[in-house]
């Protein structure tokens, strides 16, 4: 939709009739709310501003050779001007918003103003100092340039206001925009950066969890089963059963080791049998089970001294490998 002239239409002559000459109203364009018809007649232009419906018999309507529809309401008009930058591939898009009001529709039609935004863009482009402001800045420095552009446009409008016959024009807003491809690139970079931060955080938490699991597994099978129970991967009944079977296997292993010793060797070796069983128990069964195995044994008897009168050396588990 153009502004302020919305539509223009040529009119054919109306056949003259005795006592009654009337133009068919269907020849006229529709008038949206807030608009008026301006008829071109021999004497110039005439705006029909009366708040009533046309009958078609009015002299201006009958004699008109053309008619225009003019929007007379206050309207915001955007004028866009590209400002060259230090980057040859991009310009700074300058967008100035003006508030416009038609005061004399006849003068608007006489000038043929269909696109007032283009007229205002030419007005801004006439300021050579404004067009050269961006040459000192690359496209990435738009925020530093913006304040200079805004100040320059306001000063230009103040010193040399736009003069359009039949219309009042006032500056409402000045914006210096980022080109769409530059904005899209910045958004893509920010998205990638945020995704990288999320990935790093997930990896850090995963490494922390792996280290914790590794520490738990180093404590033994029971700790590993407890972890499985806490995470719902192992049922508590299965964990108890597994623990019981493991204890039985270790107890059988201890008994087999004792049985494998040569017959009567415990009577001659300088070893405290009770201490040996307790050490076996702590190593294989744990301190509680080891106490249970040896609690029925006889009190420990000190071994007899050796021939040379020295005390026998305590025999540890490492000596059994010999």
For residue 79, which phi and psi values (nearest 5 degrees)?
-115, 125
Looking at the fold, whether 17 and 80 belong to one and the same domain comes out as no
Taking the model in full, what pTM does it have?
0.60
The reply to whether 124 and 34 lie within a common domain is no
Q: Is 169 left (phi over 0), alpha (psi -120 to 50) or beta?
A: beta
User: What CATH number is associated with residue 115?
Assistant: 3.30.479
Residue whose entry in the numeric block shows the structure tokens 């999320």? 198
71 vs 42: CA distance, rounded Å: 23
Same domain, 54 and 141: no
- Please check whether residues 65 and 85 belong to one and the same domain: no
In this structure, are 63 and 128 located in the same domain? Answer: no
Burial class (CB in 10 A: 0-12, 13-18, 19+), 38: buried
Q: Give kind and range of the element (H or E) at residue 291.
A: helix 287-294
Q: Are residues 120 and 64 in the same domain?
A: no
Please tell me the total number of residues recorded for the chain in this structure.
322
Residue 24 lies in a domain: yes
Q: Does residue 111 sit within a domain?
A: yes
Pick from 125, 152, 178: which residue ends a domain? Answer: 178
Give the whole-angstrom CA distance, residue 211 versus residue 222: 18
**Side-chain half-sphere of 286: how many Cα atoms within 13 Å?**
11
Query: Residue 94's pLDDT is what?
Result: 95
Please name the residue that has the structure tokens 């002559």.
13
My answer on whether 159 and 65 are in the same domain is no
Phi, psi of 172 (to 5 degrees): -110, -35
Does residue 200 fall inside a structural domain?
no
Task: Please indicate, yes or no, if residue 219 is contained in any of the structural domains.
Answer: no
For residues 116 and 157, membership in a common domain is answered with yes
What is the residue range of 65's domain? 5-71
How much is the pLDDT for 181?
A: 72
CA distance 1 to 243: 84
- Per-residue pLDDT for the chain (322 aa), expressed as one digit of tens each? 789 999 999 999 998 877 778 999 999 999 999 999 999 999 899 999 888 889 999 999 999 999 999 999 999 999 999 999 988 778 899 999 999 999 999 999 999 999 999 999 999 999 999 999 999 898 888 888 999 999 999 999 999 999 999 999 999 999 998 877 766 766 777 888 888 888 889 888 888 888 888 888 788 777 777 878 888 878 888 777 777 777 777 777 767 777 777 776 666 656 566 666 666 666 555 566 556 655 555 455 555 555 556 655 555 545 544 4
Helix (H, G, I), strand (E, B) or coil at 170: strand
Same domain, 153 and 119: yes
Q: Is 201 among the domain residues?
A: no
> 51 with 112, same domain?
no
pLDDT value at residue 315: 52
Q: Are 294 and 274 in contact (CB under 8 A)?
A: yes
Last residue of a domain, one of 34, 54, 71: 71
If asked whether residues 144 and 124 sit together in one domain, one would say: yes
- Specify whether 83 is located in the same domain as 66: no
Report pLDDT for 294. 55
Number of domains in the chain: 3
On whether residue 282 sits in a domain, the answer given is yes
- Cα angle, residue 295 at apex, residues 278 and 280 outer, rounded to 5°: 15
User: Using omega within 30 degrees of 0 as the cis cutoff, is the peptide bond preceding 4 cis?
Assistant: yes
Picking from 17, 39, 71, the residue at the C-terminal end of a domain is: 71
* Three-class HEC string of 184-207: HHHHHHHHHHHHHHHHHHHHHHHH
| Alpha-carbon distances, residue 32 vs 37, 70, 72, 118 (angstroms) | 10, 9, 11, 23
Whether 58 is in a domain gets the answer yes
- Asked if the structure places residue 57 within a domain, the reply is yes
Q: Are 94 and 71 in contact, with CB atoms under 8 Å apart?
A: no
């Amino acid at each position: 939709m153009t502004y302020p002239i919305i539509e223009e239409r040529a009119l054919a002559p109306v056949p003259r009739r005795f006592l009654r000459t009337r133009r068919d109203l269907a020849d006229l364009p529709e008038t949206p709310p807030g608009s008026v018809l301006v008829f071109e007649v021999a004497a110039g232009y005439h705006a029909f501003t009366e708040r009533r419906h046309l009958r078609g018999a009015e002299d201006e309507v009958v004699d008109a050779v053309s008619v225009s529809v003019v929007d007379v309401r206050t309207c915001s008009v955007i004028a866009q001007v590209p400002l060259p930058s230090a980057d040859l591939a991009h310009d700074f898009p300058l967008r100035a918003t003006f508030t416009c009001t038609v005061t004399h529709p006849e003068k608007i039609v006489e000038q043929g103003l269909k696109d007032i935004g283009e007229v205002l863009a030419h007005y801004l482009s006439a300021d050579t100092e404004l067009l050269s402001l961006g040459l000192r800045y690359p496209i990435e420095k738009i925020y530093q340039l913006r304040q200079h552009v805004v100040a320059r446009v306001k000063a230009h409008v103040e010193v040399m206001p736009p003069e359009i016959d039949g219309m009042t024009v006032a500056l409402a807003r000045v914006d210096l925009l980022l080109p769409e491809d530059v904005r899209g690139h910045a958004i893509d970079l920010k998205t990638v950066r945020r995704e990288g931060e999320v990935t790093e955080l997930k990896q850090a938490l995963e490494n922390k969890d792996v280290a914790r699991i590794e520490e738990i597994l180093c404590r033994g099978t029971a700790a590993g089963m407890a972890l499985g129970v806490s995470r719902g991967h192992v049922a508590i009944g299965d964990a108890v059963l597994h623990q019981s079977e493991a204890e039985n296997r270790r107890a059988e292993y201890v008994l087999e080791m004792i049985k494998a010793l040569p017959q009567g060797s415990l009577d001659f070796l300088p070893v405290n049998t009770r201490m040996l069983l307790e050490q076996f128990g702590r190593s294989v069964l744990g301190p509680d089970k080891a106490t249970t195995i040896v609690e029925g044994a006889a009190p420990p008897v000190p071994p007899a001294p050796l021939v040379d009168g020295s005390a026998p050396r305590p025999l540890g588990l490492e000596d059994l490998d010999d």
